[in-house]
């Protein structure tokens, strides 16, 4: 995923253009995809990247070349993780006091930018564009996907990615909620997924089912690793992620803890002094 390269900006359809956040890394792939949505000179911007210095210049170039616009009409956010909200401050400095809309998460929302709270089922409109918010907690408690009615397309933020799988943080995430969110997305009439990381997905249902299957496999692996338990999380990680480089084991441990929390909620595993066992 790290080796994958995407253009600095590109147009996907008459309504959708993308500008890369220029923040590649092990958890962001080629970087965060931000999207310009609208058919006239006043597109709205979905997500803002991480705050990388070159990004506002690239956004300005994309606005001019792809949208005949000088500034975005406003900002809409999928969730409050730093690689999505990190650009809010620099963009308000560059383009003026843009309005910022999201589902509130007061502990994490960007300081200094007044957030306009939107509802879990908000509808946001721009020229030629109707965006229907879809509440999809699990990766983050404030996560909204946005359904583009005119294209049967879904902006999935970090719920479904174009490459790799998403991390469910064991502190603020919730794997049970995440799986419910994926099931809810399966019910939509979908032709395209525009993810926050990686390339556009043209077989959306297949990808969502693949994500569900991946988590089911991990759950079976966690349960299998506990067959001769009790074990600490690090032992479970070493067994399941034996083929994954050591520097990614912290993220893997977070994912394993998310599985254990879900299984404990379901009464299938128990914890005693940081050692986990089958119930
Ligand atoms: Zn995120």
pLDDT in tens, 228-262: 989 999 999 999 999 999 888 998 999 999 999 99
Residue 187 has pLDDT above 50, yes or no: yes
Ligand 1 centroid, distance to 243 Cα (angstroms) = 25
How many angstroms is it from 227 CA to the middle of ligand 1? Answer: 32
Of the candidates 242, 206, 207, the one whose C-alpha atom is nearest the C-alpha of residue 221 is 242
How much distance in Å is there from the Cα of 186 to the middle of ligand 1? 20
Q: Please state which of the ranges 12-21, 23-32, 176-185, 223-232 shows the lowest mean pLDDT.
A: 23-32
Cα(68) to centroid of ligand 1, in Å? 30
The H helix count followed by the E strand count for the chain is 7, 14
- Ligand 1 centroid – CA 230 distance (Å): 32
Contact present, 22 and 49 (Cβ < 8 Å):
yes
Residue 111 in this model has a pLDDT that exceeds 90: no
- pLDDT of 11 over the 70 cut: yes
Q: How far is the CA of 158 from the centre of ligand 1 (A)?
A: 5
Helix axes 249-265, 233-240, angle to 10 degrees: 110
The whole-number pLDDT of residue 72 equals 97
Distance from the alpha carbon of residue 58 to the mean position of ligand 1, in angstroms: 22
- d(CA 251, ligand 1 centre) in Å: 13
pLDDT tier at 163, thresholds 50, 70, 90:
confident
Report the phi/psi class of residue 138: left, alpha or beta, with left for phi > 0 and alpha for psi in -120 to 50.
left
The residue whose two tokens read 């032709």 is: 191
Q: Provide, rounded to the nearest whole percent, the portion of the chain with pLDDT above 70.
A: 99
Q: How confident is the model at residue 4 (pLDDT cuts 50, 70, 90)?
A: confident
pLDDT for residue 1? 45
Asked if pLDDT for residue 130 goes beyond 90, the answer is yes
Q: Determine the distance separating the centroid of ligand 1 and the alpha carbon of 214, expressed in angstroms.
A: 19
How far is residue 82 from each of residues 47, 49, 89, 108, 278, measured CA to CA in Å? Answer: 10, 8, 12, 9, 36
Residue 267 to residue 86: CA distance in whole angstroms? 39
Of 45-49, 77-81, 160-164, the range with the lowest mean pLDDT is 160-164
Mean pLDDT of 128-144: 98
Ligand 1 centroid–CA 209 distance in Å is 20
pLDDT grade for 3, boundaries at 50, 70 and 90: low
Ligand 1 mean position, distance from CA 255 (Å): 14
pTM confidence score: 0.94
- Asked whether residue 189 carries a pLDDT value surpassing 50, the answer given is yes
| CA 278–ligand 1 middle distance (angstroms) | 31
Mean pLDDT of the chain: 95
Query: How remote is the CA of residue 85 from the centroid of ligand 1, in Å?
Result: 10
The answer to whether residue 91 scores a pLDDT higher than 80 is: yes
pLDDT computed for residue 248 by the predictor? 87
C-alpha of residue 57 to centroid of ligand 1, in Å: 24
Distance from Cα 79 to the centre of ligand 1, integer Å = 7
Edge-first strand order for the sheet with 144-148 is 123-126, 129-135, 144-148, 153-157, 192-195
Q: What is the pLDDT of residues 28-64, one digit of tens each?
A: 999 999 999 999 999 999 999 999 999 999 999 999 9
Give the containing element (helix H, strand E) for 89.
Answer: helix 88-95
Output the CA 28–ligand 1 centroid distance in Å: 9
Ligand 1 centre from 82 Cα, in Å? Answer: 8
Q: How many whole angstroms separate alpha carbon 69 and alpha carbon 83?
A: 24
Tens of pLDDT along 267-279? Answer: 999 999 999 999 9
């Amino acid at each position: 995923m790290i080796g994958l390269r995407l253009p600095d900006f590109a147009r996907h359809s008459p309504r959708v253009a993308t500008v890369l956040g220029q923040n590649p890394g092990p958890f962001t792939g080629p970087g965060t995809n931000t999207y310009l949505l609208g058919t006239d000179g006043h597109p709205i911007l979905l997500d803002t990247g991480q705050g990388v210095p070159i990004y506002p210049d690239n956004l300005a170039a994309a606005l001019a070349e792809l949208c005949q616009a000088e500034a975005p009409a406003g900002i809409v956010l999928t969730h409050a993780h730093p690689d999505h909200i990190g650009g809010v401050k620099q963009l308000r400095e560059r383009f003026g006091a843009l309005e910022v809309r999201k589902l509130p998460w007061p502990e994490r929302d960007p300081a200094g930018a007044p957030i306009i709270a939107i509802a879990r089922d908000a509808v946001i409109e721009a020229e030629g564009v109707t965006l229907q918010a879809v509440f999809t907690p699990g990766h983050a408690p404030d996560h909204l996907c946005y359904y583009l009615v005119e294209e049967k397309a879904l902006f999935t933020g970090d719920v479904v990615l174009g490459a790799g799988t998403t991390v469910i943080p064991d502190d603020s995430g919730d794997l049970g909620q995440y799986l419910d969110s994926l099931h809810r997305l399966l019910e939509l009439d979908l032709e395209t997924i525009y993810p926050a990381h990686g390339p556009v997905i043209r077989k959306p249902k297949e990808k969502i089912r693949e994500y569900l299957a991946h988590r089911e496999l991990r759950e079976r692996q966690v349960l299998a690793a506990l067959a001769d338990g009790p074990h600490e999380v690090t032992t479970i990680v070493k067994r399941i992620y034996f083929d994954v480089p050591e520097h990614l084991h912290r993220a893997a441990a977070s994912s394993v803890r998310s599985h254990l929390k879900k299984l404990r909620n379901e009464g299938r595993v128990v914890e005693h002094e940081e050692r986990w066992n089958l119930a």
